[in-house]
Every structure is written in structure tokens, then in C-alpha cells.
Chain A
Amino acid sequence: MTVARKINALHFGILLFLLICFFTLPAYHVGALSRIMVLAIYAIGLNILFGYTGLLSLGHAMFFAAGMYGLGLSIKFLGVSVVLAFGIGILSAAVLSALVGLLALRTAGVSFMIVTLMFAQTVYLVVLYFGEFTRGDEGFVLQQAERMLAGFDVTTEAGRYFVAFGAFSICLIGFSALVQSSFGKRLVAIRENEERARMLGYDVWRYKLLAVIISGTVSGAAGALYALLFGYVGATFASVQYSILPLLWVLLGGAGTTIGPLIGVAFMFYLIDASSAYTSAYMLIAGLALVVLTMFAPRGIAGILRTKVSPWLP
């Protein structure tokens, strides 16, 4: 098998597995997997920027929130269709990421981290400031009637699962194509050695800006989808916690791998799930597990697979 075939087989295998899960697993896990897939899209978004381009953003919650509020507010106040609201959500994230990219890319390294963190904090404060519309921390609920996706009810277990599955499939396949394309390889080149990439004639700044926009837009799509499928829009999703979480998922699953984001989200979800069954201090157990994994597998779970089993992992 050629490498490209192996990669396709892996991705389709994962999608097939997720499909089988729906028909075989109890409702609890089906619900959990819907959420995991949506959050994995969010992690994919961050991974494009952090894992492949080497730019660490500490403010991705602002893009997630842009998608979430773009969809939520336009349904609530403009009464537009879900499809249009989804488009508005994605567009909001795209515009925000272009603006943030243009400004934040004047910096690099630690300054870039801090600038993205500050921008995200600004977005969070803006959400709170316009509490009259956003209902701040308390948030607001999207009613079942408001959540018909082109006549399709996404509030049922099956509806939710299949929309999440469909969106995740598109993202995984698109993401895989992106990182194997010459564009994706140039992002990796910039991550590996920016100066060399520039001195090969690549417009590093332009590639980085595109990476920020793609990354922010994908994260925003995840935010919009989350609001749609789970019917809730709240400021927590714009808080710093939601900037750190995708970073943990990506690190755990394996930064710079296509399957890492899904693995990371699923791993963390079930880790917290399992430990909360034993103790109320479940975050402590989860935290310890994270520390152990980071110490012994700094490249994450998919990173181990790549070094030990299958070096061709994209």
C-alpha cells in the first residue's frame, strides 16, 4: 500500500468505527461521542495552527465563541434559518481570525501567545458587556423549534449524532488533504525552520496568516455546531478555560497529527468520566494522568504511534 492509501484507509476506518459506535453503543456513549466529535473539530482547528504551523495560540476560545454567538445571536435576534445562521457563525470566526491574524502576526513566540490570550480576553469581556443580548455567563438556550437544520431535527440523539458525524467527517478528510497538500507541507516547513522557509522563497507571513484564518474558521465552525447541537450559548465558551482545553486535547492526542485531536478529546473525556465514578476529586486524577502522559509521551498518543508503529502517520 502506498502511504496515501494507508492514510485514507486509516481515516475511513476511524469514520467507519464511529458509524458502528452509533449502532452498537448505549445511548450514553452515543451522546458523549456526539460531543467528542464536535470538540474534535475544535481541536483540529487549533492543531492546524499549533501542530502544523508551530504557532501557539492561547486564545482560540474567541474563534469558538465567534462561531457560537454568530449562530446563536442571529437565530435569536434575526430569526434567520439555521443554515444561514451557521454561515454567519463561520463568517464571524473567519473575519475575527483575519483581524487577529493581521495584528497578532506582528509578534512571534511568547508575544504571539500573550497577544492571542489578550484578544480572547477582550472577546470574553465584550460578551459579558453586551449581557443584554448575550445573557453573559448565564447564557441562553436555543429552543428545539429554532434548531431545525433544513427540516432535519438535530435535537434527537440520532439527528445530533449524524450531524456531528457528517461535520467531523468533512473536517477530518479536508484536514487530511490540507496537511498532505503542498500548502500543508509549507506550513510544516515554517514550523520546522521559518528562516529556511523564507530563504526558499516562501512568503512566510502570508502562509501564517492563512493558517490563522483556516484554524480560526474551523474552530468557529465547531462553536456554531456546538450551539446548534446542544442548544446552549454561554460566555464560559469564550473564557480562557476553553482556550486551554483544545491545547490539552491536541497535546494529549498528538500535535501535528491528523488523528490526534479526536484521540485527545476522547481520551480526556473518558478519563474524567472514569475518574469521576470513583472520587469527587476527579480533576485531580485527570490532572495527574495528564502530567504522567506529558512526561512520558511528550508527543501525545498519536505521536507515540508515529514513532513506534507507523512513521507514515500524517
Chain B
Amino acid sequence: MAAVTLLETKGLTKTYGGLQANTDIDFILKKGLVTALIGPNGAGKSTFVGMLSGRTAATSGRVIFEGRDISQLPAHKRIQLGLAYTFQITSIFTGLTVHENVALAAARTVSADGNTLNAKVHQTLNQVGIADRADQTAGDLSYGHQRLLEIAMGLAQEPRLFILDEPTQGLAETEINDFIALIRSLAGRTTILLIEHNMKVVMATADHIAVLDQGMMLAEGTPAEISANASVQAAYLGKTVDA
């Protein structure tokens, strides 16, 4: 099963003025796996997934999702095809309740009927463990709970590809463990592309690891291969593995 390609990029490039944030990236994402995208700060990880989701316009290159070239599609159309995206910097509807936030995320895919939608919202909030806060205003939640809400908004869309940009940033240790369990519970049911600095999370969840450095794909492989890779250690692991 691991052989099917869900998403592929060809020569994906992004320049900001004179800065090459992503250079000519060829990348294949396998269906049903958890792929971790790691790399030092400023390596271009957010830029890369931004170009997948359509949030950031690519300077050149192509994105192919389920065999279809989506390079020209605006972000909302890509999301409609089954990509979901959680922001590195929390982006929720702070003025609305937790329930309303998730309902807005689920409403596009779940039938409009109120009961089905409410059930879906409740189930999703349970999955991330904040169901008891459904009626709170999202902006009043603690930072960690806002992160969990954002993850719930991704889950509620039942994505075919779930892109998470540093989801555990700012989470407490127990919340991180819950997150690991959550990702494992999703494994096989959906495809996950996870940007993550926390190596414990990466090692506990990833089937496959891709390393980005200075806008270029430095290495790819299984967790064991990546841990053993000398250039990865030089670029990244050696510096931040204990951070």
C-alpha cells in the first residue's frame, strides 16, 4: 500500500526578492503515511507547505495531487479537493465559540443538517480532548488549547492530506503525548505531512522523514536512516535534537 503517490512536486521554487526560500524541490508524498518534514529555522518548510496548499504562490514548479496538476488552483479549491492546513501561527476565529470554529471547518464536508454537524463537531473536539470547552469563546482559550482547536479544525474536514505546521509548538508535555497518540490513531486512515521541530514527536509518529535545509531537500528516508545520516546531523540534528 505504501507505494501509491498522493502528492508530487516538480521543480517547486519560491523566491522572495533575492532570497531563494525553496529551490527546485522534487518531492513525492506517499499515501497513508505520516511524513515528517524537518529542518532548521528558516529552511523553507512553511514556504514549501504553503505552496502545496496554495496559500503561498509558487515562483515556478508544479504541484500534482492525486494525479491532477493543481498548480494553478487557488487555495480554497485545493482545500476542497481534500487538503487541510493548520497554520504555524495559530489562526482560528477568536471571536467565535470553539464549537462554531469546528462547525465552520466541518460544514463544507458534513451535510448541512444541524444534528449531523453537531455530532461531528462533538466527536472531533473529543478526539483532541477539548470537548468540555465547546461553548467557550475561542480567543479565551489558553495557547495550548487554541493549538488543539486548530488541529480539530483540520481533522473536522476529514482531509485526504493533512498538513500540520509545527502543531506541538507551545503544547505542554502531556498534550504532546496526546498529540502523538492522535496522529498514530489517524495513521493509515489519512495522509499526514507534519512539520515538526520536536524530535520525540517525529520519531514517535513518522513513517518517513524529509529534511529541508536552505531551501533544498537535503535527505529523505526512514527515521532510522535519517538519524544515521551524517549530513542531516550536521545541518540539523546535532544542533537541535535536545532543544
Query: How far, in Å, is A71 (CB) from chain B's closest CB?
Result: 36
Given contacts A192-B95, A192-B96, contact A200 B104 (CB under 8 A): yes
Of all chain B residues, the one with the shortest Cβ separation from A193 is B93
Query: How far, in Å, is B82 (CB) from chain A's closest CB?
Result: 9
Q: Which residues of A contact B157 (CB under 8 A)?
A: 200-201
Cβ of B60 < 8 Å from any Cβ of A?
A: no
Cβ of A273 < 8 Å from any Cβ of B?
A: no
Whether A195 lies near B76 (C-beta < 8 A) is no
Q: Which residues of A contact B95 (CB under 8 A)?
A: 192
Cβ of A204 < 8 Å from any Cβ of B?
A: yes
A186 to B112, CA, bound (A): 13
A192 to B91, CA, bound (A): 10
Which residues of B pack against A, CB within 8 Å? 53, 55, 75-77, 79-80, 85, 87, 91-96, 100, 103-105, 107-108, 112, 153, 157
Whether A199 lies near B93 (C-beta < 8 A) is no
Q: A193-B94, A200-B105, A200-B153 given; name 17 further pairs at CB < 8 Å.
A: A182-B112, A185-B100, A185-B103, A185-B104, A186-B104, A186-B107, A189-B104, A192-B96, A195-B55, A196-B93, A198-B75, A199-B55, A199-B75, A199-B85, A200-B104, A200-B108, A201-B108
9 contacts between A and B (CB under 8 A): A186-B104, A189-B96, A192-B93, A192-B95, A193-B91, A200-B104, A200-B157, A201-B108, A203-B77
Query: How far, in Å, is A197 (CB) from chain B's closest CB?
Result: 7
Q: Which residues of A contact B153 (CB under 8 A)?
A: 200
A230 to B92, CA, bound (A): 47
Whether A199 lies near B53 (C-beta < 8 A) is yes
Whether A188 lies near B96 (C-beta < 8 A) is yes
Partner of B79 from A188, A189, A193, A199 at Cβ < 8 Å: A199
Which residues of A pack against B, CB within 8 Å? 182, 185-186, 188-189, 192-193, 195-204
Given contacts A182-B107, A186-B104, contact A199 B91 (CB under 8 A): yes
Query: How far, in Å, is B100 (CB) from chain A's closest CB?
Result: 7
Interface of A is mostly: helix
Query: How far, in Å, is B18 (CB) from chain A's closest CB?
Result: 26
A186 to B108, CA, bound (A): 10
Query: How far, in Å, is B108 (CB) from chain A's closest CB?
Result: 5
Partner of A199 from B87, B94, B100, B107 at Cβ < 8 Å: B87
Whether B93 lies near A203 (C-beta < 8 A) is no
Given contacts A186-B104, A198-B75, A200-B105, contact A193 B55 (CB under 8 A): no
Partner of B76 from A182, A189, A192, A198 at Cβ < 8 Å: A198
Query: How far, in Å, is B165 (CB) from chain A's closest CB?
Result: 11
A188 to B112, CA, bound (A): 17
A192 to B153, CA, bound (A): 15
Query: Which of the listed residues B77, B94, B107 has the most CB atoms from chain A within 10 Å of its own CB?
Result: B107
Q: Which residues of B contact A200 (CB under 8 A)?
A: 79, 104-105, 108, 153, 157
Whether A201 lies near B91 (C-beta < 8 A) is no
Of all chain A residues, the one with the shortest Cβ separation from B156 is A200
A189 to B231, CA, bound (A): 45
Query: How far, in Å, is B48 (CB) from chain A's closest CB?
Result: 16
A203 to B153, CA, bound (A): 17
Of all chain B residues, the one with the shortest Cβ separation from A196 is B91
A197 to B157, CA, bound (A): 13
Q: Which residues of B contact A204 (CB under 8 A)?
A: 76
Of all chain A residues, the one with the shortest Cβ separation from B109 is A201
